[in-house]
Structure 1
Amino acid sequence: MEATASWEWNLELLGCWQLRRGDEPIEVGFRQQRVITVVALLGSRSRTFVANLLWPENSESQAAGSLRASMYRISHELPTLMQSAGHRLALGNRVAVDVHSVRQLVRDILATGAVTPPTAATDVLCSADLLPGWYEDWVIFEQERLWQGRVAALEALARHYLDRGDNARALAAAGAAAAMEPLRESAHLLLVQGHLAAGNRASASAAFGRLRAGLDRELGIAPSPRFTELLDLRTPLPARERDPG
């Protein structure tokens, strides 16, 4: 994760919304939080864009007025946190945002298949929930995008560790991806492969069984043949499905 010692402001969007100046938590009003969060997540945007995004049910002039009021409070109560260049809004130059570090971690892993040092990467990806409890459409879109990036990065880590024979880390990453997406076959396939590489066939079969039960319960489908081939399964049908003759 990104070091924050040189930053004036630290904005936390993972787990809960929190702004700190140095080590001191700062109270921020609801509307101001939303304005700050838009530019933290989406980058520099025009005033019109931010106003219409945050106050979609208001007229354009009303939305612009609400944004001006919020920006007035931000500029006076939180100087240097945000900057305005012409009609555009952006964060100041000395603001660290925790989600930016996770996004960069995801990009690095997807680009190379690994991360250095690897120790905390899986834990970071597991715990990086973006603004839980926020339900605006634009936030939900960013939550889902980060979620899918985290799962893909965990799978990439699992493949990387499997290729290098690091079964413990491979199982941790694959297990985390499977826990986040219980019906995602690619994650469970890596989990099964990790158990088999570690010599734990029973654990591999149990992981497959959980996926099969989940797919049947939620979607009424069976796992792909890749699992049968990998485990060399010849699982009989349940008694209720057998031909009575």
Structure 2
Amino acid sequence: MTIASTSAQEGVRSRGRRAVGFGRELDAGGSPSDPATLRLTGEFELVVAGRSLAIPHAAERVLAYLALAGRSVARPRIAGSLWPTSSAQRAAKSLRNVLWRLHGDGLNLVMAQYDRLSLNPEVRTDFSELETLAYRLIEEPKPETLARLPLLIARAELLPDWGDEWLVSDRERYRLTRLQALESAAHALVSTRKLRQALMAASAAIEADPLRESPRRAAVQVQIAQGNVTEAIREYCEYRALLRDTFGLVPTRALNDLLKPWWNPEETLP
């Protein structure tokens, strides 16, 4: 079934589930003809059969919205979220136009069932894979999970160049989940004396939230374990100055106590 017939006959619900976007209908098993991946961390990228495929930005937004939703969504809700300043009629038309433009050769990315749309479940997204990795690191950082830590370090932000309001909650959720995963990984790696990897994780967490103390503690622990006490003191002083200038606060005793065998931070407070 084509998108044209779908648009003309949206009231005919017996048509059931079909695929739209990048051409051919799904096979009997519902699989796309070529592997496809959506990359939502950093710049948006659609990779089909190992090659990057350029699509209009409006189509990028529809695919990203469906990928982050993780379920089927009613067309009016999609249209209203993506075109909030348009009337309902114009927003619905804009969504239909995007689906038309997605209708090409080679792959089906969007599933349509009655008045609801969803991302084809066979399409991989880096966001869902990174989120799964982060949760595993938080719950139980096993060696095989820690081995994938560089991937989480490299993928710092969800579509950072997009200013869409509907992205805000997902972006913040990913930021916090990633941050907690980096902290968990850093402490696990310190405990197993994998200090270089621990410092990488702690540094990435500090970059994500410079005012958060727990990754600073991990970084100080690593530097002390490496015998770099002066570097640990420098890390502490940098954090203390930032905390004082931003909130008028000082680091907690837990951080101070890490340095007391060599240097008493409380005696050097301004």
Q: Confirm or deny a common fold (TM above 0.5).
A: yes
Inter-partner Cα distance in structure 1 for 2:57 and 2:207: 33
* 1:63 aligned partner: 91
Which deviates further from its counterpart, 6-15 or 106-115?
A: 6-15
Q: Is the 8 A contact 2:109 2:120 kept in 1?
A: yes
What is the Cα-based RMSD across aligned positions, in Å?
2.0
* 2:268 aligned partner: 236
Which deviates further from its counterpart, 47-56 or 71-80?
A: 71-80
Inter-partner Cα distance in structure 1 for 2:164 and 2:74: 19
How far is 1:20 from its partner? 2.3
After superposition, the Cα gap between the structure-2 partners of 1:205 and 1:7, relative to the gap in structure 1 and judged at 3 Å, is farther
* 1:108 aligned partner: 136
Q: Is the 8 A contact 2:136 2:145 kept in 1?
A: no
Q: Is the 8 A contact 1:151 1:177 kept in 2?
A: yes
After superposition, the Cα gap between the structure-2 partners of 1:78 and 1:91, relative to the gap in structure 1 and judged at 3 Å, is farther
1:9 alignment partner, one of 30, 36, 53 = 36
Inter-partner Cα distance in structure 2 for 1:172 and 1:18: 26
* 1:181 aligned partner: 209
* 2:177 aligned partner: 149
How far is 1:222 from its partner? 1.2
Mapping for residues 56-205 of structure 1, pairs under 5 Å:
56-76=84-104, 79-116=107-144, 118-121=146-149, 123-128=150-155, 129-205=157-233
Inter-partner Cα distance in structure 2 for 1:7 and 1:162: 42
* TM-score for the superposition, normalised by structure 2: 0.79
Inter-partner Cα distance in structure 2 for 1:29 and 1:186: 42
* 1:22 aligned partner: 49
* 2:68 aligned partner: 41
Inter-partner Cα distance in structure 2 for 1:24 and 1:207: 43
Aligned positions, number: 232
How far is 1:61 from its partner? 2.2
How far is 1:202 from its partner? 1.9
How far is 1:76 from its partner? 4.0
Q: Is the 8 A contact 1:109 1:156 kept in 2?
A: yes
Inter-partner Cα distance in structure 1 for 2:269 and 2:85: 55
Inter-partner Cα distance in structure 2 for 1:25 and 1:198: 42
| Matched AA of 1:235 | E
How far is 1:53 from its partner? 0.5
- Map Cα deviations across residues 93-118 of structure 1 (whole Å, 9 max, x no partner): 33121222111111111121335153
Q: Percent identity at matched positions?
A: 29
| Matched AA of 2:53 | I
After superposition, the Cα gap between the structure-2 partners of 1:236 and 1:54, relative to the gap in structure 1 and judged at 3 Å, is same
* 2:80 aligned partner: 52
Q: Which has the higher contact order (CA 8 A, sep 6+)?
A: 2
- Map Cα deviations across residues 163-207 of structure 1 (whole Å, 9 max, x no partner): 223222222211221122111111111111222233332222111
Q: Is the 8 A contact 1:15 1:130 kept in 2?
A: yes
Unpaired segments ≥5 residues, structure 2: 1-32
Which deviates further from its counterpart, 97-106 or 23-32?
A: 23-32
Please state whether the residue corresponding to 2:144 is helix, strand or coil.
coil
Unpaired segments ≥5 residues, structure 1: 1-5, 239-245
* TM-score for the superposition, normalised by structure 1: 0.86
Inter-partner Cα distance in structure 2 for 1:47 and 1:114: 41
Please state whether the residue corresponding to 2:267 is helix, strand or coil.
coil
How far is 1:38 from its partner? 0.4
After superposition, the Cα gap between the structure-2 partners of 1:93 and 1:202, relative to the gap in structure 1 and judged at 3 Å, is same
